[in-house]
Amino acid sequence: MQIALFTEQILNGLQLGVMLFLMAAGLTLIFGVMGLINLAHGSLYMVGAFACAAVAAATGSFWLGLVASLAAAAAAGAIVEILVIRRLYEREHLDQVLATFALILVFSEGTRWLFGSFPLYLDIPVLLQGTVPLPGGSRYQLYRLAIIGVGIAVAVGLFLLISRTRLGMRIRAGESDREMIGALGVDIRTLYTVVFALGAALAGLAGAMVGALQSVQVGMGEPVLILAFVVIVIGGIGSIKGALVGALLVGLVDTMGRFLLPQVFGIFMDPSQAGLVGGALASMLIYIVMAVILAVRPQGLFPAMKG
Amino acid sequence: MAISRETVINLVLALLLLAIPFAAIQFGNPFYVTLATRMAILGLAAVGLNIALGLGGLVSFGHAAFFGVGGYAAGILASHAFSAQPLDFGILSVPGTTLMPIIWLVALGAGGLLAAGIGVISLRTSGVYFIMITLAFAQMTFYFAISWPAYGGEDGLSIIVRNSFPGVNTMVPLNYFLICYAVLMVALLVSAFIRDSRFGAALQAARQNEVRVASVGIAPFRIRLVAFVISGMITALAGALYADLNRFVSPSMLSWHMSGEFIVLIILGGVGRLYGPVAGAMLYVMFEFLLGGFTERWQLFLGLALLGVVLFARGGMLGLLAGKARHG
Amino acid sequence: MADIVLDIRGLNKSFGALKATENISLDLRPGEIHALIGPNGAGKSTLIHQIAGTLKPDSGDISFLGQPVGHLGVAARARLGLGRSFQVSSLAPEFSALRNVMLAVQSRQSSSFRFFRPVKKDPTLVDPAMAALERVGLAGRAGVAAAELSHGERRQLEIAIALALGSRAFLLDEPMAGMGPEGSRQLTEFLDGLRSEAPILLVEHDMDAVFALADRISVLVYGRIIASGTVEEIRNDPEVRRAYLGDSE
């Protein structure tokens, strides 16, 4: 097995991980601060992708599209929070699940209504086209490296936000004692809207960036959402650090699994069977890992929350 | 002896469901028989979930796994019967069958085993973790199913001829409806017994206050596991019936949308109510049919309606009609 | 020879740097009320949690009726006969008082894996449950949902549940808390009669009740037992006076 191929897969794993982190960070923040489970997060990812594609197509600039995706996702998040989500904070998880599930339907069909059923296409910006040489001789897409870079930047930025700013302080306080910060005079309503919109913006950013790699279509957020849930369950719900570790773990395990497992099985099976069994196991692998981790630590790796 | 409002409504619902196919045939619209059968089967699946969710408070977002397992049980056994090749488990060779009672037993068994496996791990978690881990397990099952080309993979598995039931011509839609209706009624009876029994008392108490239950000497984990297994078995049975209705096992039976749909059915009808799943299934199928006839965008309206129910009509349909539930 | 009902030896529990339970040893003998007093934050609740099984001690032994129970969970200890009431009432809120007690009766009698016989009209469950409710004076409120009971009534219900369990020993965590003078008086009388059925480890702040009821008192301060003895001994112990009672009495 060549170094080049291996390196490429590792990088792919990192890219997937970083993208999952963007989704998971928002999800885990929202749950940590507001105690809300948000199934509609995948829809916000989709909104970001559609906004980027639409604006990029209209203006010819990917970068304007990117700005639009952040704005649109944050705005969608804020609107949804004010209209629907804020009525759910005191409700049981069952109601939250159902309401946000309903939101998925609304977002999906609404998007289909606006944009039709055919996928949109988003081009990689000129600046980031092309490839970069890797050790081992092959080349890797510059754009994918850029995504990894953005992810790292966001992780650093979030860390700084949470630990160094007043907003971050309120978020941390909100995570440990919701009732207390209200009593201390922090404007909870605005805080919650801001946190929700922040999470939405992160999701929208992820959607926009990935939209240039795959196509932009309704429902694109759902597989990502499920993986993001696996990430925060593994990492520990409410913990940003857990989201990062979990995301990288999931991204790498999933990518390397799909790459390596068919090869491993190919050692003692014929290629087509190996591909089949290996592929099947690879799809299930991340869930198996999650089950094992939860069997040993039911609260995830870095539990920040009590329940 | 006073009969409560809820019992009257339950009776009305049961009779209404029974009446639909007969009326349909009277008015020369046999399609509605299939619709009613769908209501009965989805209702059955939701009855299963309601034992875990309504009685036990276990919000499982992965019941599609059991639904699908039941469906595949039906499909696989039927396909082996048709190809006349037995299922080869290495040491054991099991012939296929097209007899519904046997298929049902297999579906119940498969559903129960899967639920036991999933439950043993998932029930160690609670709250949000439980919701997400059940979701993830269902996904696992989904990916497992679609990567098996021998049984259709992504395309699903056809059941060429509907399976048979001794003494009945199952190809006649009305007959098949009656079979499904009968199974639904039996399941509702079982559900009622469970709710009123010692097991049900312990289960509901565990939902309300886990600590209390442990401190009187009942281990919540074991109670919940058994409830989860029973729940999975009933939903799996529904899956087998569903596969036979459509004569097709689709991997979408395992999708998380399906899991979500079951939860929707229960909330629409009223959580924890005996006939909640039935009311919800009837409402949902009607909604889908009527609205789907108007616009392709019907799911948008479904979403809005669901939001309305969650935000404003908390007890679902039975809550609106029968008033507050009494636990006594 | 009186067998010790509950035997606790060398119990330790730390939360990080905080030593909540430090080398605690005490016991409970048949027919007695052993009161556990101490200022807030002394670690009384933590101790009760460890005895009941919700918290695992770092080290030490707990024996109940001669059997080591340290490895057993809450439910198992309850089945052995260790009854408990909670500092903050812990009940099934949607169930009526009667159904709450019936749950305990059900647990005592048999397995809960019975699926067919309806419980609501089952006299083998209803009768003992009503009897327990009558003993605590709650029979008239049997059909009321636990969430709708008054604070004092919930306390009574907790005791009824423990009675119905047929416990061989009771761990009562501040049963008088929040009860008015009449309620406290009734409960004191009740506990007085209860001790002959099963000994009671009583955590309490209400000093009148403690001095009226206790056969022995142990004083807990900062996780350690600083004194243990009869009511008179404790009343006169200088360390206790200083740490807890203060010189004004």
Which chain B residue has the Cα nearest residue A284?
B140
**B275/B4 Cα distance (integer angstroms):** 14
Work out the minimum CA distance from C73 to partner chain B, whole angstroms.
Answer: 9
Mean pLDDT score, A93-110: 92
B288: tokens are 């889908």
Which residues of chain A lie closer than 8 angstroms to B131, CB-CB?
37, 93, 97
CB contact under 8 A, A226 and B264: no
All residues at 6 or more sequence positions from C171 whose CB lies less than 8 Å from its CB, including other chains: C48, C51, C52, C82, C83, C84, C85, C200, C201, C203
Which residues of chain C lie closer than 8 angstroms to B1, CB-CB?
none
**B274/B201 Cα distance (integer angstroms):** 15
Exposure b/e, B43-53, CB count within 10 A at least 16 = b: bbbbbbbbbbb
Mean pLDDT score, B172-176: 90
Subunits with 3+ Cβ pairs within 8 Å of B are A, C
Q: Is the pLDDT of residue B225 over 90?
A: yes
The residue type found at C179 is M
CB atoms within 10 A of CB B273: 24
Best residue in A93, A233, A258 to probe B by mutation, most B CBs within 10 Å? Answer: A233
Which chain C residue has the Cα nearest residue B222?
C113
CB contact under 8 A, B310 and A98: yes
Nearest CB to A37: which of B124, B131, B139?
B131
CA distances from B241 to A13, B108, B278 (A): 42, 12, 16
Q: Between A and B, how many residue pairs show a Cβ–Cβ distance under 8 A?
A: 125
Mean pLDDT score, C33-62: 88
Tell me, yes or no, whether chains C and A touch by having 3 or more C-beta pairs under 8 A: no
pLDDT digits (tens, 9 = 90+) for C96-147: 999 999 999 999 887 778 888 888 888 889 999 999 999 888 888 899 999 9
What spatial distance separates the first Cα and last Cα of chain C, rounded to whole Å? 37
pLDDT digits (tens, 9 = 90+) for A32-64: 888 888 999 999 999 999 999 999 988 888 889
pLDDT digits (tens, 9 = 90+) for A232-288: 989 988 888 899 999 999 999 999 998 888 888 888 878 777 777 788 888 889 988
- Grouping H, G, I as helix, E, B as strand and the rest as coil, residue C223 is coil
Which residues of chain B lie closer than 8 angstroms to C78, CB-CB?
214-217
Q: Tell me what pLDDT residue A154 has.
A: 92
Which of A187-191, B157-161, C71-75, C181-185 reaches the highest mean pLDDT? C71-75
Q: Tell me what pLDDT residue B271 has.
A: 87
Q: Tell me what pLDDT residue A153 has.
A: 93
Exposure b/e, C33-66, CB count within 10 A at least 16 = b: bbbbbbeeebbbbbbbbbbbbbbebeebebbbee
Which residues of chain B lie closer than 8 angstroms to C119, CB-CB?
196-198, 200-201
Identify the band that residue A202 occupies on the pLDDT scale cut at 50, 70 and 90: very high
Tell me what percent of the residues of chain C surpass a pLDDT of 90: 29
CB contact under 8 A, C106 and B202: yes
Q: Tell me what pLDDT residue B93 has.
A: 73
Q: Is the pLDDT of residue A178 over 70?
A: no
Best residue in C84, C88, C99, C103 to probe B by mutation, most B CBs within 10 Å? Answer: C103
**C90/C155 Cα distance (integer angstroms):** 9
Tell me what percent of the residues of chain C surpass a pLDDT of 70: 96
- Unique residue bearing structure tokens 């209860």: C194
Q: Tell me what pLDDT residue A13 has.
A: 93
- Grouping H, G, I as helix, E, B as strand and the rest as coil, residue A243 is helix
pLDDT digits (tens, 9 = 90+) for B72-81: 999 998 888 8
C54 touches chain B (CB under 8 A): yes
A98 touches chain B (CB under 8 A): yes
CA–centroid distance for B146 within its chain: 21
Work out the minimum CA distance from C232 to partner chain B, whole angstroms.
Answer: 34
Mean pLDDT score, B303-317: 86
All residues at 6 or more sequence positions from B213 whose CB lies less than 8 Å from its CB, including other chains: B202, B205, B206, B220, B223, C75, C92, C103
Q: Between B and C, how many residue pairs show a Cβ–Cβ distance under 8 A?
A: 110
Best residue in B63, B291, B300, B304 to probe A by mutation, most A CBs within 10 Å? Answer: B300
Which residues of chain A lie closer than 8 angstroms to B303, CB-CB?
102-106, 109
Q: Is the pTM of this model over 0.80?
A: yes
Burial (CB count within 10 angstroms: exposed 0-12, middle 13-18, buried 19+), residue B243? buried
**A207/A147 Cα distance (integer angstroms):** 11
Q: Is the pLDDT of residue A304 over 80?
A: no
- Unique residue bearing structure tokens 């003998």: C29
Q: Is the pLDDT of residue C160 over 80?
A: yes
CB contact under 8 A, A280 and B143: yes
A229 touches chain B (CB under 8 A): yes
Q: Tell me what pLDDT residue B97 has.
A: 82
- Unique residue bearing structure tokens 């990288």: A248
**CATH 1.20.200.10 for the C1-81+168-249 domain, yes or no:** no
A2: tokens are 């060549």
Q: Is the pLDDT of residue A297 over 60?
A: yes
Mean pLDDT score, C231-241: 83
Q: Is the pLDDT of residue B90 over 70?
A: no
Question: Which residues are bridge partners to C27 per DSSP?
Answer: C7
**A299/A39 Cα distance (integer angstroms):** 20
Q: Tell me what pLDDT residue A267 has.
A: 82
Whether B52 contacts B191, CB under 8 Å: no
Nearest CB to B144: which of A93, A109, A280?
A280
**C166/C174 Cα distance (integer angstroms):** 20
Q: Tell me what pLDDT residue A1 has.
A: 54
**A118/A115 Cα distance (integer angstroms):** 8
- Sign of the Cα torsion B138, B144, B146, B150 reads negative
Burial (CB count within 10 angstroms: exposed 0-12, middle 13-18, buried 19+), residue C182? exposed
Mean pLDDT score, A85-102: 89
C101 touches chain B (CB under 8 A): no
A83 touches chain B (CB under 8 A): no
Mean pLDDT value across chain C: 86
Q: Tell me what pLDDT residue A306 has.
A: 44
pLDDT digits (tens, 9 = 90+) for B118-157: 999 899 888 888 998 899 899 989 988 888 777 888 888 8
Which residues of A, range 258-297, sit inside 8 Å of B by Cβ?
276, 279-280, 283-284, 287-288, 290-291, 294-295
C172 touches chain B (CB under 8 A): no
Mean pLDDT value across chain A: 87
Q: Which of C48, C51, C59 is nearest to C23 (CA)?
A: C59
Concatenating the DSSP letter of every residue in A165-208 gives: SHHHHHHHHHHH-HHHHHHTT--HHHHHHHHHHHHHHHHHHHHH
Which comes out higher in pLDDT, residue B30 or C1?
B30
Q: Tell me what pLDDT residue C129 has.
A: 93
Q: Structural domain boundaries of chain C? A: 1-81+168-249, 90-166
Which comes out higher in pLDDT, residue B321 or A230?
A230
Work out the minimum CA distance from B186 to partner chain C, whole angstroms.
Answer: 14
Q: Tell me what pLDDT residue B325 has.
A: 66
Identify the band that residue A142 occupies on the pLDDT scale cut at 50, 70 and 90: confident
Identify the band that residue B263 occupies on the pLDDT scale cut at 50, 70 and 90: very high
